[in-house]
Structure 1
Amino acid sequence: MPKTSARLLALLSLLQTRRDWSGTVLADRLGISLRTVRRDVERLRELGYPIAAVKGPDGGYRLGAGTELPPLLFDDEQAVALTVALRIVATTPGNGLAEPAERALNTIRQVMPSRLRHRIDALRVTAVERPVTRPAAPVDGDALLSISAAVHAREILRFDYGGEATDKPPRRVEPHHVVTWDGRWYLIAWDLDRDDWRTFRADRITPRTPNGPRFTPRVLPGGDVATFVTGTFRGGSGDAPGDWPCQGTVILDLPAATVALYTRDGLVEEIGPHRCRLTLGSWSWTGLAAAVARYDADIDVVGPGELTDAFAHLARRFTRTAAGHGITSPTS
């Protein structure tokens, strides 16, 4: 019969592989008696493992969740996968979890057998992102976990958003994804009060409790989060025509070389020393008009008519704002 310590580890390893085990099968797999199985289960319980008894002809056992974190047992592949995940978190800026991830890495490495430690030490993970123009604001780890929990549970998230008046009611959104872009963390969500998709900086979110009711997730424009996020932040038309549902062309009173410096995906064509033609795309006509307006130059719309209408819509919205009457939700 194997030593008690080795037997306990073998029993724990089996309990982790599936939900329920009968006492007879465990005894069979370990080559011990039912009485020894019962005694070893009690030893594991004393160490903090929440093992529940399952009713049956010869009894059974189930490893469940407890109130405290007991020692964990990983096989080689799990240990490597966990280390890779922790290294990614530890090297991703602004997530509020880099320091705890680094400590967890050190803890795991200390107890690894040498064969695994050599593999892990040979692994180097570097988070590569496009250069940022300013340092990312740190995100509170608890807030990030609360946001992610609401995404996972599909529960309406209520939160205060930095920069807004403190007497305003909280934002109410259907959280869809937590993403990183350009050194920052963002929440992609359907804004229930504005009836549209919105992107919120995670470092400006202060969650309120409790969350709201569960919801059925909506389909992101473009069908997947990567396409949506790329479109939201780049505001470009992609490499091929028709990548975006809304695509238009304008003439800007700026040199093509200047516009090209700030256009990552759009098509810029020189038509004179101080004028250029810009073709750009977005998920909405209003969003496209706003993307073009950021160039801070006189604009002539080449087409289509929907883009002209979007500029008119923005003009009315900005006029209301300048007059101090606030902004109403767009109806077009």
Structure 2
Amino acid sequence: MSETTSRVLQLLGLLQSRRVWSGDDLADRLGVTGRSVRRDVERLRDLGYPVHASKGHGGGYQLGAGAALPPLLLDPEEAVAMAVCLRVAAGGSVAGVGESALRALSKLDQVMPSRLRAQVAAIHDATTTLTSGQSDELVEPDVLMTLARATRDHEHVSAGYVDRSGNTTDRRLEPYQLVTTGRRWYLLCFDRDRDDWRSLRLDRMTDVMARGTTFTPREAPDAASYVRRAITASPYRYVARVRYQASKEAVAQSFSSASAEIDADGPEACIVTAGADDPEGMVPWLALPGVEFEVLEPPEVIAAVRDVAERFLRAAR
């Protein structure tokens, strides 16, 4: 590979790694003059890469989107990460993505060095994905992409939303973060009409539309914690708080992040918060960690644990 070709590829990698580069920064990173940078930019344009240039404060070189998708330049770690993600996406929770992911994976696999293919295969062979088998929870790709772009650009969104009871309401939203549990996708957003934060399931959203106007970001809650709390407690009639005589790490092996919120209570104890509509149905689930525990609240769950325990004692006698 010639020195010029190598430098052009290095320039492409830099442009793909950051939104805007000044000419001086690129020249410094590449060890060349500004004139050489301008020549290499023209070479990239000739190859089909839309490199935009702007002057003034905040200006510089920026890799834009073109009519066609030119080849991406990936380092080994990026190539392995992309291949693994494509394998997961082939059986994932976004409608219509499986076939496209397989096509993209086949193209990537064709040009990937054998040592990297071996790494991808090792990760794939060591991984098993549990699927829910509920096709009605699939998210439309257009919905996902619209919300992802609106989140990035701080753009207002309007959508219809179907709640658990089947009622549909119109929402005016400020999107902040997409969160996935693997099985479902959620959006952390600020609901302008309700003047409060919400976590909404993407598969229940309809007529999602970016409005073209932007908002000034607010101080947002931690997306992962907010969504975890919303899906483990908020939808249920009874919310239990239980102290376990074991570390957070040990107890977390028995519960998924989508079913319980776990907080450390010292080095050798933790508190689990989880919800259910049937207190008695929670009891066997609460016993899963196999360690001493105490139900702190509510009274209905405390009573259910007592009733089930007495029933087991009678069975043992």
Q: What is residue 305 of structure 2 aligned with on the other side?
A: 269
Number of residue pairs matched by the alignment: 260
Counterpart contact for 1:172–1:192, Cα < 8 Å: yes
What amino acid does structure 2 have at the position aligned with 1:88? V
Q: How does 1:46-65 map to 2 (within 5 A)?
A: 46-52=46-52, 62-65=61-64
Q: TM-score, normalised by structure 2?
A: 0.60
Larger Rg: 1
Counterpart contact for 1:155–1:212, Cα < 8 Å: yes
Counterpart contact for 1:155–1:211, Cα < 8 Å: yes
Long gaps (5+) in structure 1: 276-332
Give the direction of change, closer, same or farther, for the CA distance of 1:227–1:76 in structure 2 (3 Å limit): same
Give the direction of change, closer, same or farther, for the CA distance of 1:100–1:217 in structure 2 (3 Å limit): farther
Counterpart contact for 1:155–1:213, Cα < 8 Å: yes
Counterpart CA distance in 1 for 2:224 and 2:30 is 53
Counterpart CA distance in 1 for 2:192 and 2:26 is 54
Q: How does 1:1-332 map to 2 (within 5 A)?
A: 2=2, 5-6=5-6, 8-13=8-13, 16=16, 19-22=21-24, 25=27, 29=31, 39-52=39-52, 62-68=61-67, 69-94=69-94, 96-124=96-124, 126=127, 128=129, 132=132, 134-162=134-162, 163-164=166-167, 170-181=170-181, 183-206=183-206, 207-210=208-211, 213-214=214-215, 215-219=217-221, 224-232=226-234, 236-240=239-243, 256=280, 258=281, 260=283, 268-271=304-307
What amino acid does structure 1 have at the position aligned with 2:61? R
Give the direction of change, closer, same or farther, for the CA distance of 1:264–1:205 in structure 2 (3 Å limit): farther
**What's the CA shift string for 1:32-74, capped at 9, x where partnerless?**
x988765544332111123355779xxxx83421323322111
Shift of 1:120: 1.8
Report percent identity of matched pairs: 34
Give the direction of change, closer, same or farther, for the CA distance of 1:84–1:236 in structure 2 (3 Å limit): farther
Shift of 1:158: 1.0
Counterpart contact for 2:179–2:223, Cα < 8 Å: no
Counterpart CA distance in 2 for 1:2 and 1:259 is 67
Query: Cα RMSD between the aligned structures?
Result: 4.7
Give the direction of change, closer, same or farther, for the CA distance of 1:43–1:229 in structure 2 (3 Å limit): same
Shift of 1:185: 2.5
Counterpart contact for 1:158–1:209, Cα < 8 Å: yes
Shift of 1:203: 1.9
Shift of 1:159: 0.6
Give the direction of change, closer, same or farther, for the CA distance of 1:175–1:237 in structure 2 (3 Å limit): farther
Shift of 1:79: 1.5
Shift of 1:142: 0.4
Long gaps (5+) in structure 2: 245-260, 264-270, 289-300, 312-317
Counterpart contact for 1:11–1:26, Cα < 8 Å: no
* Secondary structure of residue in 2 paired with 1:210: strand
